């Protein structure tokens, strides 16, 4: 979890505690008023649980501060521009997340993406994307709007061909070998990657299995114009715009870039992975 997010959650909890004490209510009394378990009041006040908008509306009403609900909700939404659980983000399906990703990418002139285990969404074929999105929907038990999400992911790829943009991807060789989809779909995906080598708006680097790594392989991340970084974990997505955080990810990027191979060498690694699949 983002340290900034946790600090913001604790600050919101302190504000909720303040409203409760100003109303001269104990935690147990407020819990009884709202029909909540007392532990929920405690977790919200100490920043161990993230409130929902409904929680904040009920808290404000229960403490006689209904007029403050809008401000509390604004604070919550500000927090969630930095950190959003997939449970919340995918509540309305995967199509929306693809649209949000496209808006972020369209607003950036330069994007650098590092992915150690999966081909980045902007480079995926429909079949590959279909299996990746479907597996995510199964894990998170989210609405299965897979085909709509695939179409939106394909629309994102139009940005690759816009003059003046720059996309720089670094993948670990393992992403070329991980069978996250059937063999035929993986073969077409590797052919797609090979066809992008040399495109003037795209620079594709591969970190070989044999590379001497000055930094262990960490989670994937995307740097947008060095203004902010997006990170996806198994449970949440984070948007980091603190200058120190951005600088940290830029240093990590530079470290991976030093051991990645490009051009003919990258093409050779893609070809080897494709050959290992055998005839399709």
How many domains would you assign to the chain? 2
Please state whether the predicted TM-score (pTM) of the whole model is above 0.95: no
The better pLDDT of the pair 244, 154 is held by: 154
Is residue 109 predicted with pLDDT exceeding 80?
A: yes
Assess whether 224 and 122 both reside in one domain.
yes
Assess whether 199 and 109 both reside in one domain.
yes
158 vs 22, 123, 161, 234, 241, CA distance in Å?
55, 10, 6, 27, 26
Share of the chain above pLDDT 70, in %: 97
Give the structural domain span for 128. Answer: 85-276
Among the candidates 60, 80, 100, a domain finishes at 80
Among the candidates 35, 50, 80, a domain finishes at 80
In tens, the pLDDT along 195-238 reads: 999 899 999 999 999 999 999 999 999 999 999 999 998 988 88
Assess whether 147 and 224 both reside in one domain.
yes
- Confidence (pLDDT) at 3: 54
**Considering the chain, what is the average pLDDT of its residues?**
92
- Confidence (pLDDT) at 276: 96
Assess whether 143 and 34 both reside in one domain.
no
Mean pLDDT across the stretch 120-143? Answer: 96
Assess whether 23 and 119 both reside in one domain.
no
CATH number of the domain where residue 126 is located: 3.30.870
What stretches of 51-141 show up as alpha helix (H) in DSSP? 53-62, 69-80, 86-89, 94-106, 126-140
Burial call 251-273: b when 16+ CB within 10 Å, e when fewer: ebbeebbebbbeeeebbebbeeb
Assess whether 167 and 243 both reside in one domain.
yes
Among the candidates 47, 65, 80, a domain finishes at 80
The better pLDDT of the pair 77, 244 is held by: 244
**Helix, strand, coil percentages, rounded to 5, for the chain:** 60, 15, 30
Assess whether 190 and 220 both reside in one domain.
yes
Is residue 1 predicted with pLDDT exceeding 60?
A: no
CATH number of the domain where residue 59 is located: 1.10.260.40
Assess whether 131 and 204 both reside in one domain.
yes
CA dihedral 132, 250, 167, 172 (to 10 degrees): -50
The better pLDDT of the pair 181, 241 is held by: 181
Assess whether 222 and 270 both reside in one domain.
yes
**Distance between start and end Cα atoms, the chain:** 42
């Amino acid at each position: 979890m983002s340290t900034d997010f946790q600090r913001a959650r604790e600050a919101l909890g302190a504000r909720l505690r303040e409203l409760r004490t100003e109303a001269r209510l104990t935690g147990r009394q407020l819990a009884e008023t709202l029909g909540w378990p007392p532990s929920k009041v405690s977790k919200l006040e100490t920043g161990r649980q993230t409130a929902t908008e409904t929680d904040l509306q009920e808290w404000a009403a229960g403490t006689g501060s209904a007029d403050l609900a809008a401000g509390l909700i604004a604070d919550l939404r500000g927090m969630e521009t930095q950190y959003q659980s997939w449970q919340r983000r995918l509540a309305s399906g995967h199509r929306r997340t693809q649209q949000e990703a496209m808006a972020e990418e369209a607003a950036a002139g330069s994007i650098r993406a590092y992915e150690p285990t999966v081909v980045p969404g902007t480079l995926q074929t429909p079949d590959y994307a279909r299996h990746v999105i479907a597996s995510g929907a199964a894990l998170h038990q989210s609405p299965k709007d897979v085909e709509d999400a695939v179409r939106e992911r394909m629309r994102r790829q139009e940005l690759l061909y816009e003059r003046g943009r720059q996309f720089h991807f670094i993948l670990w060789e393992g992403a070329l070998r991980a069978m996250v989809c059937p063999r035929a779909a993986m073969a077409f995906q590797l052919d797609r990657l090979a066809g992008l080598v040399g495109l003037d708006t795209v620079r594709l680097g591969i970190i070989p299995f044999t590379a001497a790594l000055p930094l262990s392989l960490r989670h994937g991340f995307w740097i947008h114009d060095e203004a902010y970084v997006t990170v996806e974990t198994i449970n949440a997505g984070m948007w980091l715009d603190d200058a120190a955080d951005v600088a940290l990810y830029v240093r990590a990027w530079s470290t991976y870039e030093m051991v990645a191979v490009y051009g003919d060498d990258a093409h050779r690694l893609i070809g080897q992975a494709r050959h290992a699949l055998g005839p399709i």
